[in-house]
Amino acid sequence: MGFATLVLSIAVVWALAYWGAGTGVWVAALAALLAVTTIGTELSGWVVVPLWTVAAAAVLLLGVPAIRRRYITAPLFHQFRKVMPPMSSTEQEALEAGSVWWDAELFTGKPDWQRLLNMPKPHLSAEEQAFIDNETEVLCSLLDDWRITHEDRDLPPEAWRYIREKGFFGLIIPEEFGGKGFSALAHSEVVMKIASRSVTAAVTVMVPNSLGPGKLLLHYGTREQKQHYLPRLAQGDDIPCFALTGPDAGSDAGAIPDRGEVCYGDWQGKRELGVRLNWEKRYITLGPVCTLLGLAFKLYDPDHLLGEQTELGVTLALIPRDTPGVQIGERHIPLDIPFQNGPNEGHDVFIPMSQLIGGSEYIGQGWRMLVECLAEGRGISLPALSVGAGKTVSRFTGAYAAIRRQFNMPIGRFEGIQEPLARIAALTYQMDAARTLTLGALDIGEKPSVISAIVKYHLTEKYRRCINDAMDIQGGSGICLGPSNLLGRAYQAIPIAITVEGANILTRSMIIFGQGAVRCHPWVLKEFQAVQNPDRKRGLADFDHAIFGHVGFVLGNVARSLFLGLTRGRFTRSPVQGPTRRYFQQLNWMSAAFALSADVAMMTLGGALKRKERLSARLGDVLSELYLTSSVLKRFEDQGRPEEDLPLVQWACENSLYRMQESLRLLFRNLPFRPLAWLLRLVVFPTGSPYTEPSDLVDRDAAQLVMTPGAARDRLTQGIYIGHEHHSRQADYERAFAHAARVEPIEKTLRDAKHAGLLRSKHAADRIDEAIEQGIITQEDADALIEMQALRRDVIMVDSFPDYGKQYARQPKGSKKPAIYAV
C-alpha cells in the first residue's frame, strides 16, 4: 500500500505540473493525497499531525495572497530589485520594440501548432505578380553583372533610369504617395529575383525600401514631410540613404558621438529655431549618390531653448545633400560589389526643426524608431538576398553536378558531391520556408523583432554555407572570375550580408536569446516590469502574480521535458498524420526542453547571462532551429504535402533536431552550476541523445532532386532569374541541363553496351560511330550526344583575359586617405 501511494503521489504531482494546474487544483489534489496516505497507510499520530500541520502551513503561506506576498513575494521582490541588471533607456526601448508572435509560442514549451497551420499562406496580388514577371524581369535583363562589377563599377545608366522610373525605390511607399504599396512578400520577391542576377543591383534597390528615410517617414513622418518627400522618393526624384554608423560607433550604434545642438540659424533666408549638426559617418549605402540623407545623432539643448532637459537623446533628421556644410565623401569598395557606398561628414550644418523626422514630437525617440523599423526591414532584405543566392546555387550548381563529368560519370553521382549538394538543396528549402513564414507575419501586421533577428542571422549564415558548398562542387568554374562565372560575386558578397543590419556574431550572441528571453517568455517581461515599477505596491502585486505563474511554468516544463524525454516525444499531439507527424512530436519535446533550459540558465545566472554570450548564443540557436523547423513543416503543409519534397523536409528537420540537441548538450556542459546542469541533462535527455545528422540515403535523395528536371526542382528555385528569352549564363546552364536529362538514357545504353563488351573504341566519338554501326543507337541519338558535348563544353569553360595584369595594376582613384581613417 505504501509503495502504491508513493507511485500515486508522484503520478498526481507530475500530472498537475504537466497540465499546469491552478493553485486551487493543487491544494485540493494534495489534500486528497494526504487523506489517502493518512487513511491508507495507517500512519501513527506522531507522523500524521506534523504532516497535516506542514500541509496546512504550506496552504496558508502559498494559498492566501496577503500572507504569501508578505512572507514570500516581498523578500524575493527586494532581492530581484538588487540583482536585476541596470538597464539603459536605449536597451529598454530596444527590448520593447516590435511584437512577439510564433516565437512566444515556442517559448511556452507546448506550441499550438494549429495556430501556425491556420495562418493563411502569403500570396502575391495580380499586380505584384505582374511587376515581378515584367518590370523585374526587364531590369534583370538590363544587368550584366560582369560589366557592373569589373568594368563600370556601377550599374549601367539605363538600369539606374529604369529603377527610378519604374518605382523600384518606392516598393513600400503607399499608392496614395505615388509608390507601389507592395506587401512584404512582393518586396522580398523583387529583391530575391534581382539578387539572383546581380547583388549590386539588389542592394541598390533594397536599401531605399529597407531602413531609411522612406520607412521612417511612413511610420513617424509629419503630414507635411510625408506629402513632400514620399512622392519624390517613390518616383526616384530623391535618392535616399541612411547614416547611422561612424568610425566610433558600429555595432554599438547607441554610442554615436555625432551631435546636434538646438539653436537659431538661417534656413532658406529665414531665421528659424533648429539644430546645428556635426557628424562623421562611414559605410553609408547609396551615400555617394544620395540627394536626401537620413541622419542619426544625439541632440542636446545647452541653452534650454526647448525646455529644462539638456541631453535629449538619439534623434533622426532629413538633410538635403546640398545643405551648406554637408560633405559627401568618396566611395568605399565593399569587396568588389560596387553598389554605391561611402563616408560623409557634416560641419556646422543647420536644419530647422521641421527637418527632424516626425518633428519635435519625436525628439529623443530615434533609437526606438530605428529598432522598430529594423524589426521589420531586417526580416525582408537580407533574407531575400540570401534565398536568392540559395536558389541560384540549388538550380545551377545542381545542374552543373549533372552536366560536369569526371571518371566517366556526372560528378553528382559521387557520394562526396551528394553531401554538399543535399545541404544546398535542403538549406535553401529551409531558408525559403523561414523567409515566407516571416513575410506572412509581417503582412498581417506583426513586427516580430526576435524572429527578424533569427532570419537575418540564420539565412545569411546558410547563404554562406550554400555558396561555400557550391564553390567546392563547381571547383575551378566557381573560382575563375569572368562573365561566365555564376558564383564568384555571390561568394564575395557574403561578408557584407553577414555584417550589415546587425553583425552576425553580435546578433547571435546578444540579440536572439537576449531579446527573446525577455520578450517571448511568458513571465520574464512581466517580472521585469513589475520590479521596475515606480509604484512599489502595484509592482509587488504584479510581481507576485508573475513569479508564481513562473514557478508553475517551470514545474510544468520539468514534467513535460522528462515525460517527453522518456517517450522521445511519442504520445504528444501532432496536428497532422503521415510522414511529418513525428517531427511535430519531436518539436514538442525540444520546445519543452528549451523552455526549461532557458529558465534554468536565467535563474542560475541572472544578469550575468548577458555576459555569458556563448550560453546565450546556444539558447538562441535552439530557439532559432525551433523556428526554422516550424517554418519547414508549415511550408510542406501549405504546398499541399508534395511527396517529392520529402527528402528536403526530412533533411531540414533531422539536421535542425540534431543541432538543437548538440546546442543543448553544449549548454549543459558549460553551465557553471554543475550538479544542476547534470540534473537538467538527465531531465531533458533521460534516454541519451537520439538525433544524428541526416543519413547518406536522405542526402542522396535530396541531391537527386536538384539534379533532376521537374516540379520539385522548379518549386524549390521558384522566383529567380533564368532569362530564357535573353542570352544569359543561366540560360546556357538550363539548356545543357535539360539536354543532359534527355541524353541520359542514351548514355546509359552506351555504357551498358560497353560493359557488355559490344563497344571496343577507346574514344567517345569513335564509340558513338561504332554504336550506330551496330544499331545500338540511332543517328538521332548520336546527334543528341554530339550536341550534349558542345553544350557541356559551353558550361564548363571559364574566361581568360589578355589584359589581366593591366586591369589589376591600375592605381585606385582618389587614393588619398580621407580624414575618417586617420585614427
Please say which residue, 243 or 540, places its beta carbon nearer to ligand FAD: 243
Q: Counting contacts by CB under 6 A, is residue 242 touching ligand FAD?
A: yes
Of positions 84, 306, 506, 576, contacts ligand FAD by CB under 6 A: 506
* Segment 750 to 809, residues that bind ligand FAD, using CB under 6 A: none
Does position 341 interact with ligand FAD (CB under 6 A)? The reply is: yes
Q: In angstroms, give the least distance from the CB of 453 to ligand FAD.
A: 12
Taking the complex as a whole, the smallest distance from the CB of residue 742 to ligand FAD amounts, in Å, to 44
Give one DSSP letter per residue of 369-415, joined into a string: HHHHHHHHHTTTHHHHHHHHHHHHHHHHHHHHHHH-EETTEEGGGSH
Stretch binding ligand FAD (CB under 6 A), from 6-14, 277-285, 745-753, 790-798: 277-285
Q: Which is nearer to ligand FAD, 245 or 704 (CB)?
A: 245
Report the distance separating Cα 374 and Cα 245, nearest Å: 14
Q: Which residues, 6 or more positions from 556, have their beta carbon under 8 angstroms from its beta carbon?
A: 17, 18, 19, 20, 109
Give the interface segment with ligand FAD, choosing from 60-68, 239-247, 519-527, 735-743 (CB under 6 A): 239-247
Q: How far is CA 555 from CA 24, 560, 568, in A?
A: 16, 9, 19
**510 counts as binding ligand FAD under rule CB under 6 A:** yes
User: Binding of ligand FAD at residue 509 (CB under 6 A)?
Assistant: yes
Cβ distance to ligand FAD smaller for residue 135 or 461? 461
What are phi and psi for residue 312, nearest 5 degrees?
Answer: -100, -10
Q: Which residue stretch of 244-252, 443-451, 628-636, 784-792 sits at the interface with ligand FAD (rule: CB under 6 A)?
A: 244-252
Query: Which three-class secondary structure state does DSSP give residue 136?
Result: helix
What are the residues facing 308 on neighbouring strands?
A: none
Pairing of strands 270-285, 341-352: antiparallel
Least distance (Å) between residue 503 CB and ligand FAD: 3
Beta bridge partners of 104: none
Task: Tell me how far apart the alpha carbons of residues 651 and 648 are, in angstroms, rounded to a whole number.
Answer: 5
Span from 75-83, 471-479, 504-512, 811-819 in contact with ligand FAD (CB under 6 A) = 504-512
Three cell numbers, residue 301: 539643448
Q: Which of 141, 327, 499, 533 binds ligand FAD (CB under 6 A)?
A: 499
- Cβ of residue 284: shortest distance to ligand FAD, in angstroms? 5
Can you state the angle between helices 536-567 and 581-605, rounded to 10 degrees?
140
CA–CA gap between residue 503 and residue 204 (Å, rounded)? 20
SS3 string, 527-582, reads HHHHHHCCCHHHHHHHHHHHHHHHHHHHHHHHHHHHHHHHHCCCCCCCCCCCCCHH
Q: Near ligand FAD by CB under 6 A, which window of 348-356, 492-500, 527-535, 734-742?
A: 492-500
Based on the number of CB atoms within 10 Å of its own CB, is 517 exposed (0-12), middle (13-18) or buried (19 or more)? buried
Region 158-217 residues binding ligand FAD, contact defined as CB under 6 A: none
Question: Least distance (Å) from ligand FAD to the CB of residue 498?
Answer: 8
Question: Restricting to residues 210-229, which ones interact with ligand FAD according to CB under 6 A?
Answer: none
Nearer to ligand FAD by Cβ, of 293 and 628: the residue is: 293
Cα(596)–Cα(589) distance, integer angstroms = 11
Binding window for ligand FAD (CB under 6 A); candidates: 28-36, 255-263, 448-456, 495-503: 495-503
Rule CB under 6 A: is residue 136 a binding residue for ligand FAD?
no
Dist. CA 724–CA 134, nearest whole Å: 14
Nearest approach in angstroms of CB 507 to ligand FAD is 7
- Residues 258, 264, 265, 270, CA torsion sign: positive
Query: Does residue 620 interact with ligand FAD by CB under 6 A?
Result: no
The Cα 671–Cα 682 span in angstroms is 14
How many of the chain's residues bind ligand FAD (CB under 6 A)?
Answer: 21
Site for ligand FAD in 251-270 (CB under 6 A): 251
Please name every residue paired with 284 in a beta bridge, in sequence order, or none if there are none.
342
User: Which long-range contacts does 796-804 make (Cβ < 8 Å, 24+ apart)?
Assistant: 796/403, 796/404, 796/477, 797/484, 798/476, 798/477, 798/480, 798/482, 798/484, 798/485, 799/480, 799/481, 799/482, 799/483, 799/484, 799/485, 800/480, 800/482, 801/482
Assess 496 for contact with ligand FAD (CB under 6 A): yes
Fill in the per-residue mask, 278 to 307: x = in contact with ligand FAD (CB under 6 A), - = not in contact: -----xxx----------------------
Task: List the catalytic residue out of 128, 345, 501, 747.
Answer: 501
Nearer to ligand FAD, 275 or 293 (CB): 293
**Closest to ligand FAD by CB, 210 or 418:** 210
Q: Which of 100, 183, 205, 27 is nearest to 518 (CA)?
A: 100
Cell 496516505: give the residue.
37
334 contacts ligand FAD (rule: CB under 6 A): yes
The grid coordinates listed for 410 are 556526372
CB of 255 or CB of 697, closer to ligand FAD: 255
Q: How far is the CB of 361 from ligand FAD (least distance, A)?
A: 23
Residue from 13, 503, 576, 741 touching ligand FAD (CB under 6 A): that is 503
> Among residues 101 and 339, whose Cβ is nearest to ligand FAD?
339
Nearer to ligand FAD among residue 288 and residue 313 (C-beta) = 288
**Residues ≥6 apart with Cβ < 8 Å to 523:** 546, 547, 549, 550, 553
Q: Is 244 in the site for ligand FAD (CB under 6 A)?
A: yes
Residue whose cell numbers read 512572507: 71
Minimum CB separation of residue 386 from ligand FAD in Å reads: 15
Q: Determine how β-strand 270-285 pairs with β-strand 259-267.
A: antiparallel
244 or 657: CB nearest ligand FAD:
244
Burial class (CB in 10 A: 0-12, 13-18, 19+), 472: middle
Q: Which stretch binds ligand FAD (CB under 6 A): 228-236, 360-368, 433-441, 505-513?
A: 505-513
The residue among 203 and 653 lying less far from ligand FAD, judged by its C-beta, is 203
- Binding range to ligand FAD, per CB under 6 A, among 4-12, 497-505, 774-782, 797-805: 497-505
Of 195, 168, 203, 196, the residue nearest 182 (C-alpha): 168
Shortest Å, Cβ 609 to ligand FAD: 13
Site for ligand FAD in 555-614 (CB under 6 A): 613
Query: How near is the Cβ of 248 to ligand FAD at its closest, in Å?
Result: 9
Among 411, 439, 481, 500, binds ligand FAD (CB under 6 A): 500
Query: Can you read off the three cell numbers belonging to residue 269?
Result: 533666408
Compute the distance between CA of residue 228 and CA of residue 428 in angstroms, rounded to an integer. 41
d(CA 89, CA 368): 10
Q: How far is the CB of 261 from ligand FAD (least distance, A)?
A: 22
Question: Contact at 8 Å (CB) between 743 and 785?
Answer: yes
Closest residue to ligand FAD in the complex (CB): 250
Active site (annotated) includes residue 501: yes
| Nearest residue (CB) to ligand FAD, 493 versus 590 | 493
Could you tell me the smallest distance in angstroms from the CB atom of residue 332 to ligand FAD?
Answer: 7
If the CB atoms of residues 147 and 610 are measured against ligand FAD, the closer one turns out to be 610
Q: Are 251 and 173 in contact (CB under 8 A)?
A: no
Q: Is 250 in the site for ligand FAD (CB under 6 A)?
A: yes
Axis crossing angle, helix 199-209 with helix 184-195, rounded to the nearest 10: 160
Least distance in Å: CB of 283 to ligand FAD?
A: 4
Q: Which position among 155, 184, 233, 243 is part of the footprint of ligand FAD (CB under 6 A)?
A: 243
Q: Can you tell me which residue has the cell 517613390?
A: 234
Distances from the Cα of 187 to the Cα of 286, 383, 386, angstroms: 19, 11, 14
Q: Which residues bind ligand FAD (CB under 6 A)?
A: 241-245, 250-251, 283-285, 334, 341, 496, 499-500, 503, 505-506, 509-510, 613
Residues with a known catalytic role:
501
